[in-house]
Structure 1
Amino acid sequence: MTDTGPIPRRAARQAKARRRRRRNAGVGLSVLLVAAAATGWAVYGRGGSPADAAGGPVATAGGTHTAAAKPAARPTATEPAGTVTLAFAGDVHFTERTANRLGVDPALGPMSTALTAADFAMVNLESAITTRGTPQPKKYHFRTTPDALGALQRSGIDAVTMANNHAVDYGAQGLTDSLAAQHDSPIPVLGIGADEAAAYRPYVTTINGVRLAVVAASQVQDYTNQKFRAGPGSPGIASALDRPRLLQAVRAAKRQADVVVVYLHWGTEGQSCPGPEQKSIAADLSAAGATAVVGTHAHLMLGSGMLGPTYVAYGFGNFLWYGSSPYPHSDQTGVTTLTVTRGKVAKAVFTPALVDGKGVPQPQQGAAARQITDRYAQLRGCTGLATAPH
């Protein structure tokens, strides 16, 4: 099956592939020095190693390639960083009514057009990646296969977070499988790792000469965050409940990058206004150097805007969703695209969508689009945020 959007999918994929090639060619020497001891997606990307930066042959799950021998120079203080576009959407999983989306290209439907158009796009994968394990003592259990990561890549996604309350729905065995899928993934999987150093480690890349770092964590007070929080020698998710550890990760990311994004799982289900714990951590992350703080969990959209120099989106809502949520407006969703120039958010554009009866976000036009967009703008009223540039 194939879904078609406003532009041909092949052209969109080719355009994004060109951007990815430019991005890979620009990996800076500074990242190599910072992460000489790291492996995997942590800094270099999948299959990365010091040889990657040196231009030697690199073995990956997809074969052997030769990296660019001379990375692009990082902008200096007198040479401001360029412009990068970042697209974000909400919660995604492949189960029940959305399980068959693994056989559809693009899996995320026509909204993939908005995601593919950005230089970098990211969603929350609300699921364990396993076919084994034991359901944990909780009400809902979500899982999928490693094929989901390739399906998301083909939908224009460049990275996912698994720092959420469903990443370990199938216990230790499921977590082991998820970490194996992370290792072999065609895209970075953030917010989960073999220990806390891996779980909190930022994904760092260069796009259009701009150094981008992304950190992910969960602030949700739940079974997963209590029982499967990554520790010094134990696997699990990155927890925003350990605020000092998260802030440490963000400050470290800021030392490496021009633009720092923090993608959180946060808020309270069914509440369309951010709670005090969200506002508090957003302020701390802004002070730590975050360019943007975004996230999901409430199953509906929350307001967004500027907190000083930092763009904050308190909730993107459901995106590719297995069933209906018992909250008003839970089917309203969309893609938020940020244009970041010289390290600052210069524009925020919201592309509205509505989750249909099959769980797929469908772009909206005319009066239907205005209704969702207007309501989304009104949600800013309880956030304390200023209007973002548009």
Structure 2
Amino acid sequence: MRRAPLGTAAVAVLLLTAVAGCGGPTPPGGDGTTATAPAGESAGGTSSAVPGNGGAEASAGASAASSAGAGVITVAFAGDVHFEGRTASRLTAPTAETAFGPIAKTLAAADLAVLNLETAITGRGKPEPKTYTFRTGPKALTALKDAGVDVLSQANNHAVDFGADGLADTLAAKANSPIPLIGIGRDAAEAFAPHIATVHGTKVAVLAASQVDDLTNQKWRAGEHKAGIASAFDEKSLLHAVTEAKAQAPVVLVYLHWGEEGVACPTAAQKAIAKKLAAAGATAVVGTHAHTMVGAGMLGNTYVAYGFGNFLWYGTSNYTASDETGVTTLTITADGRVTGETFTPAHIDGRGVPVPQTGSAAQAAQKRRDGLRGCTGLAAVPN
């Protein structure tokens, strides 16, 4: 969210790559700590007060509800994040730089910033029988907060990479996290529960689910009495969650893990669920998983972004344009209308850090990104 200039806390640089299964080799270990059974949150969702609601943070940002009008907010989105491989050591290395480097300023400038944390938060557990498994420790959550992130989705195919013990630790980390984690929980009610925040007097609900049909979605899907991730294949629960969220907040943001790896056009399954979520009242339906950017635009009154690509990743990939990324910032009115979109292009460097592009490189990145809309059936965003 919009906040005072970031300090010089020791935080991490993350990385990106696009490889099959969202992954890379299982790390030799994590910096996580062994956790006990999670304290958890209310199944009814989480809530917080952010600038403009008269709460503890009001003085930090209430003076500028928005230049566009009372209740108008900005929401920044970015893609997949890991603290693995070439970036894992950044969690302990002393540095004056935030986890994301200079582009963190773009996230922090928005009233709300949301991305996907694609990893278990644990130092325990047995790796799941899959090609790639990821984990990190609770320090990652503080690093992400310091880098301007306000909400994290863990509804993805790597949140439960280390079995029941890893899931227990992840839920314990969620219960004690400095920023909200959505899309995962002790049961389906908690996994589908939105985080609700009041921003400049406007209520915003953010929820998440995974549409990736893989081992995690098959084995670790949250149920009535089962911990796990929120699954988009449980359409009834997902659509009900959006409808319920809409009854509480005029702005409803749905962050999905979806799409086909390496493919820059949306799948039929993506288009189908986007239409249903739009009909249920979603203000925006966005997400990641393809390891490359996919087109974005308007589906009626609903903003849809089919893929933000990698953001901070651990290695390299042969997927086309997997090192192209950026931050998408939406302007949204108090009644839930998207009235503008700004894209801040970035290029993932050799450290795995998304470095903002400038000049002709930025113009070329913007043109390519806009061109991705051609196969989506979406309309341009009003600006």
TM-score bin (small chain): 0.7 to 0.9
The answer (yes or no) to whether the contact 1:41–1:203 under 8 Å persists in 2 is: no
Structure-1 separation of matches of 2:180 and 2:355? 26
Structure 1 counterpart of 2:104, from 84, 87, 112: 112
1:28 aligned residue = none
**1:299 is matched by which residue type in structure 2?**
H
1:371 aligns with one of 345, 360, 364: 364
**By how many angstroms is 1:44 displaced?**
3.2
**Aligned-residue offset at 1:324:** 1.0
1:209 aligns with 2:201: yes
Separation in structure 1 between the aligned mates of residue 264 and residue 57 of structure 2, nearest angstrom: 46
- Pairing of 1:196-275 with structure 2 (within 5 A): 196-275=188-267
Partner Cα distance (1:262, 1:10) in 2: 24
Q: Alpha-carbon deviation of 1:302? A: 0.2
> Do residues 122 (structure 1) and 125 (structure 2) align?
no
Match of 1:42? Answer: 45
* 8 Å Cα contact 2:100/2:312 also seen in 1: yes
Q: 1:81 Cα deviation (Å)?
A: 6.7
* Structure 2 CA distance for partners of 1:253 and 1:304, relative to 1, 3 Å: same
Mapped contact 2:42–2:190 kept (Cα < 8 A): no
| Aligned position for 1:29 | none
- How far apart are the structure 2 equivalents of 1:147 and 1:163? 20
Equivalent residue, structure 2, for 1:92: 81
Q: Report if the CA contact (8 A) 2:192-2:209 is conserved.
A: yes
Please tell me whether the aligned partners of residues 40 and 183 of structure 1 are also in contact (alpha carbons under 8 angstroms).
no
Which amino acid in structure 1 is aligned with residue 178 of structure 2? P
- Paired residue for 1:82? 71
**Quick one: distance in 2 between partners of 1:222 and 1:210?**
37
The answer to whether the Cα contact below 8 Å between 1:41 and 1:188 also exists between their aligned partners in 2 is: no
Q: For structure 1, list consecutive stretches of 5 or more residues without a partner in the other structure.
A: 1-8, 15-37, 47-52, 56-65, 73-79
Q: Which has the larger helix fraction?
A: 1
Q: Of residues 335, 348, 352 in structure 1, which corresponds to 2:341?
A: 348
CA contact under 8 A between 1:89 and 1:336: conserved in structure 2? Answer: yes
Give 1:205 deviation, angstroms: 1.1
- 1:197–1:232 Cα contact (<8 Å) kept: yes
Kindly provide the CA deviation profile for residues 240-268 of structure 1, in whole angstroms up to 9, marking residues without a partner as x. Answer: 01111100000000000010000000001
| Inter-partner Cα distance in structure 2 for 1:184 and 1:10 | 22
3-state DSSP of counterpart to 2:89: helix
In 1, are the aligned partners of 2:43 and 2:190 still within 8 Å (CA)? no
Indicate which of 353, 358, 363 corresponds to 2:351.
Answer: 358
Contact 2:187 2:227 in 1 (8 A): yes
Paired residue for 1:186, among 168, 175, 178? 178
C-alpha distance in structure 1 between counterparts of 2:324 and 2:127, whole Å: 30
SS at match of 1:123: strand
Give me the whole-angstrom Cα distance separating, in 1, the residues matched to 2:90 and 2:213. 30
> In 2, distance between residues paired with 1:303 and 1:310?
14
**Shift in Å at residue 40 of structure 1?**
8.2
Give the structure 1 partner of residue 166 of structure 2.
Answer: 174
Poorly superposed stretches of 4+, deviation over 4 Å: none
- Aligned counterpart, 2:30: none
Kindly provide the CA deviation profile for residues 58-90 of structure 1, in whole angstroms up to 9, marking residues without a partner as x.
xxxxxxxx999xxx9xxxxxxx97101000000
- 2:339 is paired with a residue whose SS is strand
Map Cα deviations across residues 202-226 of structure 1 (whole Å, 9 max, x no partner). Answer: 1011000100000100000000000
Q: Distance in 2 between matches of 1:249 and 1:298?
A: 25
Q: Which amino acid aligns with 1:141?
A: T
| Aligned equivalent of 1:61 | none
Q: CA deviation at 1:326?
A: 1.8
Mapped contact 2:3–2:108 kept (Cα < 8 A)? no
Q: 1:31 maps to which residue?
A: none
What percent identity do the matched residue pairs reach? 59
DSSP-derived class of the 2:294 partner: coil
- Judge conservation of contact 1:12–1:117 (CA < 8 Å) in 2: no
Aligned mates of 2:47, 2:206 — CA distance in 1:
13
What's the offset of the Cα at 1:45? 4.5
Correspondence for 2:279 among 283, 287, 310 = 287
For this pair of structures, how many residues does the alignment match?
Answer: 333
2:222 aligned counterpart, secondary structure:
coil
Kept in 2, the 8 Å contact 1:205–1:211? The answer is: yes
The unaligned stretches of length 5 or more in structure 2 are 8-40, 63-68
TM-score (norm 1): 0.82
| Superposition CA RMSD, Å | 2.3
